[in-house]
Amino acid sequence: MRIDRIGRHPQHIPALAAWHHAEWGALYDDWTLDAAASELDDHATRTSLPTTLLLMDGEDLLGSVSLLIEDAPALQDRGSPWLGSLFVLPAARGRGGGRILVDAAVAHAAREGVALLRLFTLWHEDFYASLGWQVEERTSLHGTPVVIMSIVPAERVAHTEPPPHRVDDA
């Protein structure tokens, strides 16, 4: 498994948008499949934020994670940027891909000079805590309990052995 930037694999954007929309579409009123694809098309134009990293096995797409300026508008007053849209294909789960994606996104954020990275999660607090994230706040989003967590990317990178997978600059 390796991490790569979405701009190198634009052919995977329609499938990825469909996965994301199936997973989270119900959470956002106006977030259509076209909107999901347009965001990923935009992310493919840069490696600075907002962007998306892919988990690849050869030419097969296994998952993705995004670094976003805004994730949920109702939580935007907590700050920016956000880690979001972490997704591993069901058939590929339980093999460490989720961990690789999160740590790669944190390392990428460190390289981009992000001082503090946040996320919100409904069910995966323990998973992120095991990767060094700390609980910042327990709140609700559209009536659903969520946990806001944060991490200092530079500190995580300094304490991760071996170094996280990184997106090369080539």
Ligand X SMILES: CC(C)(COP(=O)(O)OP(=O)(O)OC[C@H]1O[C@@H](n2cnc3c(N)ncnc32)[C@H](O)[C@@H]1OP(=O)(O)O)[C@@H](O)C(=O)NCCC(=O)NCCS
Q: Which residues bind ligand X (CB under 6 A)?
A: 23, 86-88, 93-99, 121, 123-124, 126-127
CA distances from 53 to 4, 134, 137, 153 (A): 6, 22, 26, 16
Minimum distance, C-beta of residue 93 to ligand X, in the bound complex (Å): 3
Contact 101, 146 (CB under 8 A): no
Nearer to ligand X, 37 or 88 (CB): 88
Nearer to ligand X, 161 or 169 (CB): 161
Nearer to ligand X, 104 or 157 (CB): 104
CA distance 82 to 119: 5
CA distance 125 to 159: 20
| Residue facing ligand X at closest CB distance | 98
Minimum distance, C-beta of residue 90 to ligand X, in the bound complex (Å): 8
Minimum distance, C-beta of residue 61 to ligand X, in the bound complex (Å): 13
Nearer to ligand X, 13 or 65 (CB): 65
Instruction: Specify the DSSP element, H or E, that contains 85.
Output: strand 82-88
CA 127-150-1 angle, 5° bins: 50
Nearer to ligand X, 98 or 153 (CB): 98
Minimum distance, C-beta of residue 116 to ligand X, in the bound complex (Å): 18
CA distance 142 to 91: 30
Minimum distance, C-beta of residue 30 to ligand X, in the bound complex (Å): 20
